[in-house]
Structure 1
């Protein structure tokens, strides 16, 4: 029987941390493909710059300083944790092998946790507000006709809905810029910690040592102009329709935004269909084969947590 000593507990923590790091390396998270990572230093961040697209004008006279619109879009940081309890009797009986896979899995789960927050946010975009007070995917985002904001607003849509469609939603995104459609706000990076002192309550009362991870973060919406939500069949025609609409998006004053959709995001249920649309050389229309003009045009992302 092993004698539980501070040295043994320290060695145990080192070993578990190694398995945790191994688990981190097993994962291939995808959240940073569609979300800008913003470092946070307070309890929340307010994104007053959302709604203001940088642009140029001819420099005649003094510079025109554009005040960032204070939409008041705020992302509050949240705390998250994952914990594993290790019984003292298992340490005494050298029965520790059962915990190694758990620590490894904790590392893998930590690495993909941002995916679990970011990708479901796309789905919630049909009923959650973004910086302009409209749903992220909506039919009536306000865009002003004049650069000074004094003109008449027009309504712009970034959603396509077929009332007869009962399948899963899919999304077309412009991920080619420094700013991406979504925001992953990171306040505190994941930290692997332990609770193994003899005077700790869990150790004293239940003979249980605890190992866990905690972090602080949250997610939110960026520019709606960089994303299009679709509840309609995934077809070449619908892809072209959405792509063309996004290419025509304009900023206040009618300045073209130059949106270039690069990424098609689909749930696993649409993976086969999306793969065929983007990779096949030919399709058959009637009895004649026609070339697939969208072959290779978009990067396909099929997240696990959409």
Structure 2
């Protein structure tokens, strides 16, 4: 075996090192993190504590809120630690831990968006069979499968990273550890890692995206057959929020995990990653729930002095 010095920590280069920009980014990410935690926590508590919201749609929204909390908590605290002057170093084990949880949450959210698309398809295209097709056991099975399947994928990809040797350089041109940013630093062959990453991309991104598109093709066709303008408006209102989130989430994740990780795309990738690790978890409560009358009523019941 060739001699090598194992890397014990990585340096996250992140954004600009200018002190003025560091202060701006610290305030920016702190605000987004607080808003994401507060908004998603409110949504989860309102849905959990209000029996009128114990329906399939809100059950999936509660799971989405948990995923958004996990996503921001996996990335933003370490980023803030570097911005307050404690250094942008992350240990080897810390880097793999971040990759594991981030890969788990990202995969789970992509699968959950497909489950939510299926829920809307059944509600609009097969309303008479909705209570049977989206019964509580079915919803629990779908949500459980989302978490388990994404966890297995994360275990596999993280396990494949453990077998690699990292002997330098140890600088990651990003503000977090991700599979596309870590693989180029390996001193070992990464063919198997790349193959598994492609398989994961095809399943989580391509197949689920196509499933969502097909579901909404049927939904739109069904809505267009509704005669009343009010009926069309109500049907579209239940799907528009989900379409916005699907478009934002899939476009950013696909860009990060499919586009080449070199050249000017590295800087673009940082901005795009922000969209699904900080911006999207912050906006999801507003897009999905806080503008919903039922959720507002539930929030007033749970937090009368706040709402």
TM-score of the superposition, structure 1-length normalised? 0.24
Q: More relative contact order in 1 or in 2 (CA 8 Å, sep 6+)?
A: 2
Name the structure with the higher helix share. 2
TM-score of the superposition, structure 2-length normalised? 0.24
Bigger CA radius of gyration = 1
